[in-house]
Structure 1
Amino acid sequence: MSGLSTIIGSRISTAVEVNKLLVPASSIVEHLRGYCEPALFHTDGFGEFHLSKSGSAFRAKYKGRYFLFCTAHQMKKQRFDHDQLCLLTGDETKIISSHRAIFSEGTADEKDDFDCNLYEFTEVVENGKLSKSCWYDLCGEMANRPVQKPALVCTIGFPGYRNEIDYTNFHYGVSPNAVWGKEEEPSVKGRLAFKPNPRIDFSPDGMSGGPVFGIELRDDKPKAFFAGLLTEATKEKFHFIARSRMFRLIDHALE
């Protein structure tokens, strides 16, 4: 958070607009963290604790529909099926799976390059099994699909080095990391990228699928917006898929 005030200066000394809410600058990471989840999967073979983790995920809503984004490679790496993806309920004693998966249309090469899956949780939200809070509202951004040039970029995810499941004690201590940076030229085709600032000293493995937010200045007032989904990351550079491509999945879901 110190980098936020350093880079943008006095123009961000009060609050940041997020989904039409004004959030104190000192609380922006905590607020954005509410839209992020570890990507959990229901798996057999672990006694009474049937959970595995593979990366991170982003909770979003649009026109009364509730969705979870993650990357495709998170699932391919561990050979998970789509019906294994799940979310913890509010009391964290039960898990809920989605009722629908939405995929990219196109050739195999296009799908591999896209690296994004979408899952719908509208039914379990509407029947009260999942809360309607903590879903990022995309209604104001679906109509403005190109990504604005941000003054600062932030991603939040759940790196593996501090998010291990304790199968002995049936416990999973969720511990996210936030990484700030400034946009730079990507090294991966079909991606946008930013360079961490300050530099990070940990492996970002496990952060794939986490949301990337940008902060722009409008009339000297800071406003956060959803910029995309983290796909490939190293200590030196974080790549992400642009939101304009991701929104096509929502278009497909609404057809």
Structure 2
Amino acid sequence: MTLRLDWLNEINAKMHVRLGNVLVPAKDVVSTCIQYTTPLLFDNNDPNFPIQVFGSSFLISFRRRLFQIATGHQLENSQRDYSDVCLVYSALRKTDLLSPQSTFSIKAISEKKDPLTDIRLWQYDVSLLPVLSSRFLKIFSDQFVGVPPLGAQKIFAYFTIAYPLQAVGYELTEDESALAHLRNRYIQLHLEPTKDWLPLIDNRHYFRSIDSLSDINTHPDGFSGAPVFVIYQSDDLQCHMGLVGFITDANSEGTMAVYPAQSLLSSLTTIFDSSN
């Protein structure tokens, strides 16, 4: 479902946005980001019912490593283990399930010491980078931005792309013995910063959906793990896409708590330093 993103009308038709290491026409930046946002999938190890879907996740390539990012409570709520996470992987006309090579947990806890707000990262085999590079957004340190981004002269839009649980549909075979088809859809929401969240959680940005969730018949279950982006113009009049963070909490009023991308960058840097 595509909701109103009228900021496109404000951008020069010839303007491009730097997305990773490539320039993308501004009008195409949202559709381009969609390919890097994926449902969080679990391998059931069952040929009849091979996968389960539970919420959203985001795929990035950072310093030549491949990461999938979601939240810890998606595992808790789905009663699944971190090792069950997988990606649908296609090669040589064959579709298979790809398991991660390793996983990391980032403690993103509140004053209540709630472990369910952890950010979870899964790392995939770097030898697959040539094959999987189109699935993972190549991102650089300066694209992990704050609210507002440093040096932003004008904010065009904040938005998220998520996979609500209510959009998941499992269609069975005629004899109901196996999964015939899995239906899923994403939703993109235009956001604005807010402080309308009580009690406030440590180390979060807060946003609300400009479009009422009840008006568009959408429930926030499944928003966790979804990335939040910003499109902005810098002092040099260039247009940029920044990663603001990841949704860890959302309510029916359309308000969302977002773990900051700059905190994620700090944790990723620690992971890289400790492995060297």
* Bucket of the pairwise TM-score, normalised by the shorter protein: 0.7 to 0.9
Deviating more after overlay: 154-163 vs 232-241: 232-241
Q: Deviations over 1:146-170 (max 9, x none)?
A: 4434542111111112222334343
246, 251, 255: which one aligns with 2:269: 251
Matched, 1:93 2:84: no
TM-score, normalisation: structure 1: 0.85
Corresponding position of 2:23: 22
CA contact (8 A) 1:154 1:178 kept: yes
Corresponding position of 1:195: 208
Deviating more after overlay: 242-251 vs 19-28: 19-28
Matched, 1:121 2:124: yes
Supply the distance in 2 between the matched residues of 1:42 and 1:244 (Cα, whole angstroms).
31
Equivalent positions of 1:23-42 (< 5 A) are: 23-42=24-43
Corresponding position of 1:63: 63
Corresponding position of 1:48: 48
244, 250, 255: which one aligns with 1:227: 244
Matched, 1:216 2:229: no
Residue ranges of structure 2 left out of the alignment (5+ in a row) = 150-154, 174-178
Q: Secondary structure at the match of 1:74?
A: helix
CA contact (8 A) 2:58 2:68 kept: yes
Supply the distance in 1 between the matched residues of 2:44 and 2:244 (Cα, whole angstroms).
32
> What is the Cα deviation at residue 62 of structure 1?
1.2
Q: Secondary structure at the match of 1:103?
A: strand
Corresponding position of 1:165: 170
Corresponding position of 2:176: none
Deviating more after overlay: 84-93 vs 57-66: 84-93
Corresponding position of 1:75: 75
Supply the distance in 1 between the matched residues of 2:208 and 2:14 (Cα, whole angstroms).
25
Aligned residues: 250
> What is the Cα deviation at residue 247 of structure 1?
2.0
Identity of aligned residues (%): 19
Structure 2 residue identity aligned to 1:67: F
154, 158, 178: which one aligns with 2:159: 154
Structure 2 residue identity aligned to 1:199: S
Matched, 1:181 2:191: yes
Deviating more after overlay: 184-193 vs 102-111: 102-111
99, 106, 111: which one aligns with 1:104: 106
Q: Deviations over 1:10-46 (max 9, x none)?
A: 34544341224332333222101011110000125x6
Supply the distance in 2 between the matched residues of 1:13 and 1:3 (Cα, whole angstroms).
18
Structure 1 residues 155 and 107: CA distance shift in structure 2, 3 A: closer
Supply the distance in 2 between the matched residues of 1:92 and 1:227 (Cα, whole angstroms).
35
CA contact (8 A) 1:101 1:118 kept: yes
Q: Deviations over 1:53-108 (max 9, x none)?
A: 11111101111111010011100112211110000002673101101011235989
CA contact (8 A) 2:3 2:188 kept: no
Deviating more after overlay: 79-88 vs 103-112: 103-112
Supply the distance in 1 between the matched residues of 2:127 and 2:220 (Cα, whole angstroms).
31
Supply the distance in 1 between the matched residues of 2:94 and 2:245 (Cα, whole angstroms).
28
Structure 1 residue identity aligned to 2:95: T
> What is the Cα deviation at residue 110 of structure 1?
4.9
Corresponding position of 1:137: 138
